Structure 1
């Protein structure tokens, strides 16, 4: 399958019943400004580009939302429990992006998409959701060029003071052992 545009990525997701089921389940929570992000999309793209016929297992499904009215981490755990009750065994991870800026000591994010723009890698800075018409919507603050060309690079917020975080993540994730066509870049190569 050719993956050159955001519409190609949307079509790839729409054709995957498992991904659509997860989107519908998250949509049931009515979270404000919600997205399923990161590896959920990235791994699907990389699996497709590598010609894998079976899905690479995901350690978790990253669900993000944006709600400044309640920053209590326990609320996120309650949403994880609700999702696990609806669809158990998925490994749900729910995070309110209104509080996540504190982890890397950054200014507050303005939305869930702003939170996605502050993910460490451009290939991870991806999100997918359902709109009010239950149609798939996609966000990629840095575009899809890196993810579809299998180039792993730090996102702009991680290119200077947080570069070490990016480098530790790509070393720890060992993505190249699963997807051997990947090119992992240091800042100097970007």
Structure 2
């Protein structure tokens, strides 16, 4: 798929920010060495970096956890993912690792079977969370379920594939609006900003 010039520039900017972040680059190298199929790091690993650079102060938000996602339809349970997670937590304890095979995650949410890692992240609760990156031969490959425009605009957008109540509960639980008060919560129903204070 051909990217627009604006989207290509956003991807280039994201790659630059990732390369400037030594911790994230080390984590990407660790995950690349696992050699898992369609394997990426997503969610707050990417989202929080962008919000920090655009909306935050000079302090980088600590990584609460590292969401490693891959897609292997030959696995019948998450057992392999849990074993990889345990190995990472033992050998690289500076991070809290979460590893999930996205080929199996549809059953948890009663979704149709996902076709790929990209398809799977298109079901995540916030559109801005549905972004992931991996290191491929010194190249940073980026996938996004909804593009990067809303992430770079400082929006927080409900994915209509998930219940609105889940979205609102996550906003309250994660305290994103406290950390980044300039975030704008977007309602897809009316395309207007919500006051969610």
In structure 1, the residue matched to 2:153 is 149
How far off its partner does 1:179 sit?
0.6
Q: Secondary structure at the match of 2:161?
A: helix
What is the aligned counterpart of 2:51 among 24, 38, 46?
46
Structure 2 residue 134 is the aligned partner of structure 1 residue 134: no
The 8 Å contact of residues 10 and 152 in structure 2, kept in 1 or not, is answered as no
Match of 1:110 among 79, 90, 115: 115
Larger relative strand fraction: 2
Looking at structure 2, the residues matched to 16 and 58 of structure 1 have their Cα atoms a distance apart, in angstroms, of 12
Query: Which residue number in structure 2 is paired with residue 179 of structure 1?
Result: 180
1:170 matched to 2:171: yes
The one of 17, 32, 38 equivalent to 1:33 is 38
Q: Structure 1 unaligned segments of length 5 or more: list them.
A: none
1:83 corresponds in structure 2 to 88
Q: CA deviation at 1:142?
A: 0.8
| 1:156 to partner: Cα distance | 4.1
- 1:122 matched residue in structure 2: 127
Aligned to 2:4: none
What CA deviation, in whole Å up to 9, does each residue of 1:98-124 have, x standing for no partner? 111122211010011111111111110
DSSP-derived class of the 1:113 partner:
helix
In 1, distance between residues paired with 2:55 and 2:173? 21
Query: Is the partner of 1:185 in helix, strand or coil?
Result: strand
After superposition, the C-alpha distances for 1:27-58 in whole angstroms (9 at most, x for unaligned) are 11111110000100000011111242222123
Q: 1:15 and 1:58 mapped to 2: Cα distance?
A: 16
State the alpha-carbon separation in 2 of the partners of residues 78 and 134 from structure 1.
27
TM-score, structure 2 as length reference: 0.87
SS at match of 1:5: helix
> Could you tell me whether the CA contact under 8 Å between 2:43 and 2:67 is conserved in 1?
yes
Preserved contact between residue 35 and residue 129 of structure 1 (Cα < 8 Å): yes
Gaps of 5+ in 2: 1-6, 192-197
Give the whole-Å Cα distance in 2 for the aligned partners of 1:47 and 1:55. Answer: 6
Once residues 134 and 83 of structure 1 are traced to their aligned partners in structure 2, the CA distance between those partners, rounded to angstroms, is 21
